[in-house]
Every structure is written in C-alpha cells, then in structure tokens.
C-alpha cells in the first residue's frame, strides 16, 4: 500500500513539474477543463436525459426495469 502511494506521489510531481515548466501548460489545463465541462455537463443535457424525473415510485420502476432487462437478456442468450 505504501509503495503505491509513493509511486502516485512521484507521478503527480512528474506531471506538476512538467506542466509548470511548459510555456503552454496553463493554456493546456484550461483547454482540458473546458473539454471536460463540455463532455460531462453540456453533452449530458442532450444525450442522457433523466428517465426517473417523471416517475413517482422510483425504486419500483428501477426494480421492474432490471427484471425485464434481465429476462430479455437471458432469452437472447438461450436462443443463441
């Protein structure tokens, strides 16, 4: 466990010093953060709508969906 922590710290300092010494380091980090924002917040709104928002009894709905999908998956595997 201690060896993993030491290697993580070494990797962290490697990247920290590498970006600190780069002339474009801050710009690259800004670009990375903008890209992550677009991927996780903007695209989520359009491609991953919340199906549970309209459901009143969420645990029952999720349970029924899992049972139905499991049964459908088992039927597909049995036929193949």
Who's near 52: CB < 8 A, 6+ residues apart? 58, 61, 62
**Cα(10)–Cα(16) distance, rounded to whole angstroms?**
10
Write out pLDDT tens, residues 1-59.
566 677 888 888 888 887 777 777 778 888 999 999 988 888 888 777 776 677 678 88
**CA–CA distances in Å: residue 52 to residues 24, 49, 55, 60:** 43, 9, 5, 11
From 13, 15, 35, select the one nearest 25 (Cα to Cα). 15
Instruction: Label residue 78 by pLDDT band (50, 70, 90).
Output: low
What residue spans define the domains of the chain? 1-49, 50-80
**Can you read off the two tokens belonging to residue 2?**
């201690």
Using DSSP, state whether 30 is helix, strand or coil: helix
């Amino acid at each position: 466990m201690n060896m993993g922590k030491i290697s993580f710290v070494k990797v962290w300092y490697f990247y920290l010093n590498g970006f600190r010494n780069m002339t474009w380091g801050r710009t690259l980090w800004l670009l990375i953060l903008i890209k992550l924002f677009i991927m996780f917040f903007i695209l989520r709104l359009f491609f991953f709508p919340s199906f549970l928002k309209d459901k009143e009894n969420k645990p029952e709905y999720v349970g029924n969906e899992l049972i139905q999908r499991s049964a459908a998956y088992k039927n597909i595997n049995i036929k193949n």
